[in-house]
Amino acid sequence: MADSDFDLFVIGGGSGGVRAPRMAGQRGVRVGIAEAGALGGTCVNVGCIPKKLYSYAAEFRTAFEESQGFGWRTAGTPRLDWALLKRNRAAEITRLNGVYAELLTNAGVRLLRGKATLEDAHTVVVNGERLRAERVLIATGGWPTVPDVVGRDLVITSNEIFDLDPFPARLLVVGGGYIACEFASIFNGLGSRVTQIYRGAQILRGFDDDVRHFLHDEMEKAGLEIHLDADVHSVVRITEGLRVTLVGGETLDVDQVLYGTGRAPNVAGLGLERVGVEVNACGAIVVGDRFETSVPSIYALGDVIDRIQLTPVAIAEAMAVVDQLFGTGEREMAYDAIPTAVFTHPNIGAVGLTEAEARAKFTSLRIYRSDFRPLKHTLRGSSERTLMKLVVDDASDRVVGLHMVGPDAGEIVQGFAVALKAGATKTIFDSTVGIHPTAAEEFVTMRQPVAAASPQ
């Protein structure tokens, strides 16, 4: 387009939204980006980063207790300074916002602070300024959703949880997905009395069944109260906080109610209908293999397209889009064997297929499973245990699923994800020498398959 202001204009400054213009700008492409909020999107501001920082904070309470078994003596009881934790977290997030802005500037990207709307297939309007672009990339991510319950205006989501004032002595977490489970674990560790309710039969739908049941037990051992097959009917304000009435009539009095029941694509006000960009029944933008929408000049990636809602996935998609539009076109996005972690206490790490998924795909499986108390927990007498599991396709001997519940599970599983991506067999696992004494060595020392059935 001879009359265009940009070769590429990106709407949304989250993880994928920042990576795409950076990479394109470094190739000499004329790039602009619009972001109305803080750079970094959900992950940096109200997601992965602050959540992991709070997860670290929550782990210290157990660490203080366990240190006594290793000979440490402390004077008095450690106390959480909630205000200090919030200030330190906010300072780190502000620093990261600045890093993102600097990365864009150094790549020659024009950053516009404001909400962008589509006027037509090549025109974006930001703060009243009409900008023409040969191609537009939408990377606006997702947004927390709250069902239409009585008193929904009194509850909070993961967007507000980090800056609560005062600290909630009693917290109700609604939901059974990874966001709900993470915050339930975090605030339990920080000192809240946490109740978690989920309308399903078991938390963490989509994860391996052994992992789901094992983590449930470990969370309850840590002091969480989990109610399954339960849901909220109404929330009302009372003198001492909030009164939550469950479907069935039971009531709970708490200080805060956190809804972690899901996220929806953040597409409101973009003008998708005006320009003819197709969305599915969930509101997610429909894209093809090369992330093209129903409008040839408009592309989309990340949580807004509703494939796999993980920060590294959005970043990888951004790299693929830039290579396809301005590079060799050889880079593709593969969605198999994507590792993931859940920062509950204890952590979850997983890569590949669950046992149920593998049973639907392969004729015969071998299942290896180990459940043990880590060495770190022995001197203090902690009852926390670790679970490790391998799912193996019997015909090819390939390890097609690897699952862990335990300390640093994400750090451990990241390395094994490379092995699964490379097609490692159980024979290769068996021939690998373990590092002793570590929990990770269990993955290369499990020799005897267990009974095939998983708990239901």
Residues 234/150, Cβ–Cβ less than 8 Å: yes
Rounded CA separation 263/193 (Å): 25
Which residues partner with 226 through β-bridges? 196
Residue 248 DSSP code: T
Residues 202/235, Cβ–Cβ less than 8 Å: no
Q: Strand, helix or coil at 176?
A: coil
Cis? peptide before 346, omega within 30° of 0: yes
Rounded CA separation 285/292 (Å): 10
Q: Strand, helix or coil at 19?
A: helix
Rounded CA separation 152/61 (Å): 32
Report the helix count and the strand count for the chain, using DSSP H and E.
Answer: 11, 21
Structure tokens at 208: 């391996």
Rounded CA separation 456/164 (Å): 37
Nearest to 320 by CA among 401, 249, 312: 312
Residues 369/388, Cβ–Cβ less than 8 Å: yes
Q: Which residues are CB-contacts of 160 (< 8 A; sequence separation ≥ 6)? A: none
Rounded CA separation 201/205 (Å): 9
Residue 138 DSSP code: E
Give phi and psi for 348, each to the nearest 5.
Answer: -115, 140
**Residue 273 is which amino acid?**
E
233, 345, 377, 436: which one is catalytic?
436
Give phi and psi for 402, each to the nearest 5.
Answer: -140, 125
Q: Strand, helix or coil at 428?
A: helix
Question: Cα dist. 8→33, 130, 320 in Å?
Answer: 9, 14, 14
Angle between helical axes of 48-67 and 82-106 (0-180°, round to 10)? 140
Is 122 marked active-site? Answer: no
**Residue 199 is which amino acid?**
R
Residues 173/231, Cβ–Cβ less than 8 Å: no
Structure tokens at 39: 């750079």
Q: Strand, helix or coil at 223?
A: coil
Question: How many CA within 13 A on the CB side of residue 313?
Answer: 18
**Which of the residues are catalytic?**
436
